[in-house]
Amino acid sequence: MKRSIPVRAVPADPNELAADDVAHDECGVLGISTPHGEGVAQLSFFGLFALQHRGQEAAGIAVSDGKRARVHKEPGLVSTVFTPEALAPLTGYHAIGHTRYSTTGSNAERNIQPFLVETMHGPLSVAHNGNLVNATTLRDELLHKGFGLTATSDTEVFTLMLAAAGGQTWQERIERTLPAWKGAFSLVILAADQVMAVRDPWGFRPLSVGRLPNGGHAVASETCALTTLGCVDIDEVRPGEMVTLRGAEIERTQVLAPQANGARCTFEFVYFSRPDSVWADKSVHHVRQQLGVELARESMVDADVVIPVPDSSIPAAIGFSTESGLPFNDGLIKNRYIGRTFIEPTQDIRERGVALKFNALTENLEGKRVIMIDDSLVRGTTAGPLVKLLRDAGAAEVHMRITCPPITHACHFGVDMGHDDDLMAARLSVAEMEAHIGADSLAFLSLDGMMRAVAGREAGADDGHCNACFTGDYPISVGDAQAKLAFEGVLN
């Protein structure tokens, strides 16, 4: 589920804003089917645990024993939602799971996934990563058919359309319904006796499949979940493909032709995915190191040390260091326990900005010319305080280097970057941003440089990726997306 244009129901914690300038990926999905039924819920748990970085607000698992389906889902981290008591009743052969990012709201609970309904064809449960750009239209169609909708999520749209699609099999229903869905979706679908996974023909969001060591198969948003489960023969689910897992069996069907070269989200490589995931045959960690290499080639500056903003920028900083020959070192230490806190900082603390999240290592910075590598600037709220933190620790110069181009457009395909207006680079030039954050220099990786690292070629129509947040060239028209907010407020 993705709310492309989120509305904050509660005022954000000022400290949180200051310390958290990242885009949020929304949701990880997982599906498992085994012939033996041993520990299906446990496997789902451990798989979701590896997808926790894709959503920390809620988690859910639905399991079918061949006849009946049950779901357990609630707000919280995977490890807190799934106690032994919660997992115990989830017995069966087939399962889907979900980790969710969402904005705060009193009715958020009804949007927690997987969504489970009874249909004339038996139980049906769906979980989703992505965002439908024509959700408003599809919702209206459902409403005008007389449906009552209980949630505000795309997932209910998928579910009810599938339930009403006619046809003899769930595969047939998916084939009938798929053409109507415009946008990004990596879906997992649970029926009484099988799990299905579908990926939009653009391939915006990742989805992979693998063979479980003890029989059966698993699909997951990222391969890190599959390797955690010990999967072998891991392969990407192709754009437009439907995969059916039924005990020991697996069927793969190309339902819709992939859209041209596809539109994989580049930002998954830059920031979202776990570095130990592999997507499009590329190691995310390796791509990030290459982003650092390309960045060094493009925007080298004479300096004494290269430091990452931990943790996500470490590989790129290593790559920059390797390519530039400048020494890599830690310059910032991150509090490992950072998370949501609702305590308002005192004025002392507030003025120190990112102090709660980072401390500077004076001995590695004092008197030095520092190149600080960060993965991206979204709202741009932490860059300034970080630069100041380095200077306070004695850095002689601070050169900020970003491993992607300026983000100038909101995402409508599953990433919460805020409105266009929230984006620093949509309002300011690079020179203005440099002045704003107080760095000696600021440089972004070029689109071509990024694509060389990500795809091994220059950017262009044939690069197979969605770079809309950098370019504004949305692979699908998003005019409809603006209307999506309209219905999101009706029920809450």
CA distance 388 to 374: 15
DSSP H/E element including 59: strand 58-64
To the question of whether residue 466 is assigned a binding role by annotation, the answer is yes
> CB of 303: closest distance to a copy of itself in angstroms?
17
Q: How far is CA 11 from CA 8, 57, 108, 205, 339, in A?
A: 7, 17, 16, 30, 17
Query: Which is nearer to a copy of itself, 158 or 474 (by Cβ)?
Result: 158
Reduced to 3 states (helix: H, G, I; strand: E, B; else coil), residue 25 is strand
Cα–Cα distance for residue pair 264/266, rounded to 1 Å:
6
Closer CB to a copy of itself, residue 86 or residue 428? 86
**DSSP structural state of residue 314:** H
The residue count of the chain comes to 492
Buried b (16+ CB within 10 A) or exposed e, 11-21: eebebbebbbb
Is 27 among the residues known to form the active site?
A: yes
Look up residue 78 and give its two tokens. Answer: 């995977």
Q: What is the rounded radius of gyration, in angstroms, for the C-alpha atoms of the chain?
A: 23
Q: Is 97 helix (H, G, I), strand (E, B) or coil?
A: strand
Q: Which is nearer to a copy of itself, 140 or 422 (CB)?
A: 140
CB of 161 to a copy of itself, least distance (A): 9
- The answer to whether 265 is a known ligand-binding residue is yes
- What CA–CA distances, in Å, run from 136 to 2, 140, 227, 492? 13, 6, 37, 17
Q: Are 411 and 4 in contact (CB under 8 A)?
A: yes
The distance of closest approach from Cβ of residue 262 to a copy of itself in the complex, given in angstroms and rounded to an integer, is 22
Catalytic residue among 27, 224, 231, 404: 27
Which residue, 47 or 239, is less far from a copy of itself as judged by CB? 47
Return the residue matching tokens 């890599």: 328
The minimum distance between CB 258 and a copy of itself, in angstroms, equals 26
Beta carbons within 8 Å of 144's beta carbon, 6+ residues apart: none
Indicate the SS3 state at residue 398.
Answer: strand
| For a copy of itself, the closer CB: 421 or 489 | 489
The angle subtended at Cα 470 by Cα 466 and Cα 475, nearest 5°, is 30
> What's the min distance (Å) between Cβ of 466 and a copy of itself?
24
Question: In sequence order, which ranges of 410-446 are alpha helices (DSSP H)?
Answer: 424-427, 430-437
Least distance between a copy of itself and beta carbon 290 (Å): 11
Asked whether residue 375 is marked as a ligand-binding residue, the answer is: yes
Tell me which residue of 190, 187, 194 sits closest to 255, measured CA to CA. 187
User: Which residue, 10 or 260, is less far from a copy of itself as judged by CB?
Assistant: 10
Show binding-site residues for [4Fe-4S] cluster: 265, 411, 466, 469
Give binding residues for Mg(2+) as ranges. Answer: 312, 374-375
Which sequence positions are flagged as catalytic?
27
